[in-house]
Amino acid sequence: MMCRSTPGASTACPPALRRQQGVTLVELMVALAIGLLVTVAMLKVYVDASQMYRFNEGLARVQENGRFSLEFIRRDARVAGFWGCYSDAALSNGVSAGSDAYINVAAGHITGTSDDGLNSSDSITFRSATGSGSPLTTGMSGTGAGVTVESAGALSIGTAVLISDCENGDLFQVTGIAGTTLAHAAAADANSSPNLSKAYAAGARVYEARQATFCIAPGADPSQPALRRLVNPTSGQTCASNGDELLEGVQNMQILYGEDTDADADGTNGDGTANRYVAFGTSDLEIDRIVSIRISLLMRSINNNLTTEPSPYIFNGSTVTPGLTDKYLRKVFTTTVTLRNKAG
């Protein structure tokens, strides 16, 4: 609305119209500058919050994977060397060394390698019977007779099993299953003599025998190091190539073996306490005197660029400074597991 002047009348506009004024160029530029500052500040807050979220999520994932990795290894370490209700019982291995079911119990229930895996990591192998076992419902009629159990469970033909009665134990390969009766007849891949060391009476228990190896190798995503486990390998299989991926982000594993040096060479007459921790393959390490293991895992975040700068870390007694483009988050997890069963 425009103000018009008439003869004899005032040309002044009404007060409401006088308050309607435009914005000057300076005011517009100031407003734009303030808006830009507010936008930049909000963007900075968003970026920082997003980075913090990614960091916290990565840290939580590292901690979770570290705990689960140690738990997987700890479970098999606890049962290692379990060969029935009396682990010191005489154990006869009736499985041929040429069979895929063969488990070399004579090598001891814990063996390992040192610095030969991915990132110079260690590997470790546990041997034992597993599960609660299934009792014999009837006694054997002879040392070559079938073994009738309460339940065959998950056992399959070709499986290595242990039968034990707290006095003796036999490893044999299942060559046939008829209902709940396990056969151990001589076969090309089994011991030429199907006879067990004794005819076991009702009440003896049958367990699945297992050999499990843990190692560090590339995961399903080759860029991600992972903890792998290979159970009961067949001929030609290796943990690195054929093991099941358990958890990704496990960059390195170092294992030290606690030796009771007060014990005799066969592991007897010791106090059960480790006097020293050494790597597997140490020249004077007696496997029969191993009473505990110390496991150290170096965990790495799945995603890169979680830190603003490469973060140095200490692992296995050494300080490592990553390269300029390595901005992964890392954390070391260490635990000591006391072995429940006598080594060797």
- Number of separate domains in the chain: 1
Decide if 35 is inside a domain. no
- Nearest of 230, 73, 87, 237 to residue 162 by alpha carbon: 87
Beta strand 168-173 with 90-93 is parallel
For residue range 188-241, what is the model confidence (pLDDT) as tens digits?
444 556 789 899 999 999 999 999 999 999 999 999 999 999 999 988 899 999
HSE value, Cβ hemisphere, 13 Å, CA-based, for 55: 11
Whole-number pLDDT of residue 188: 46
Residue 87 falls within a domain, yes or no? Answer: yes
Residue 296 CA to residue 226 CA, distance in Å, equals 14
In a domain, 34, yes or no: no
Asked if residue 191 belongs to a domain, the reply is yes
Alpha-carbon distance of 124 to 113, in angstroms, equals: 7
Residues of the chain with pLDDT under 50: 188-190, 344
CB atoms within 10 A of CB 264: 12
Query: Could you list the residue range(s) of the whole structural domain that residue 257 is in?
Result: 54-338
pLDDT at 343: 54
Would you say residue 8 lies in a domain?
A: no
In a domain, 117, yes or no: yes
pLDDT at 99: 85
Q: Which residues of 197-233 are buried (b: 16+ CB within 10 A; e: fewer)?
A: ebebeeebbbbbbbbbbbbbbbbeeeebbbbbbbebb
What whole-number percentage of the chain has pLDDT above 70? 90
269-296: burial string, b at 16+ Cβ within 10 Å, e else: ebeeebeeebebeeeeebbbbbbbbebb
How far is C-alpha 115 from the chain's CA centre?
A: 18
**Is position 123 within any domain?**
yes
Nearest alpha carbon to residue 305 among 50, 59, 44, 51: 51
Whether 17 is in a domain gets the answer: no
